[in-house]
Amino acid sequence: MSHSYPASWKNCATCAYWVGKREADFFTQWSRVESISAAGKCMCRKSGFMNREKPASASCSYYLKWAVLQQ
């Protein structure tokens, strides 16, 4: 079952640095992942999580909104 996160939330599923399987909805207001336990790698060079798996629901202080999502 998929799980969606609103574009206004600052978590990995909506972050530009997170590399995991996700897609934006038609109106680019939500980021959808396969499941609540979906994970992907963090590619932020400043973060201590660089190249580590992080759940889509996680967050950090280096958040940058995914460009696909509407501002």
| Both structure tokens of 25 | 């909805």
Instruction: Give the predicted TM-score (pTM) of the model.
Output: 0.93
The pLDDT value given to residue 70: 87
Strand partners, 4: 32
Three-state SS at 7:
coil
- The pLDDT value given to residue 5: 98
Tens of pLDDT, residue by residue over 34-66, are 999 999 999 999 999 999 999 999 999 999 999
Q: Is 62 exposed, middle or buried (0-12, 13-18, 19+ CB in 10 A)?
A: middle
> In the predicted model, what is the mean pLDDT of residues 18-33?
97
pLDDT grade, residue 1 (50/70/90)? confident
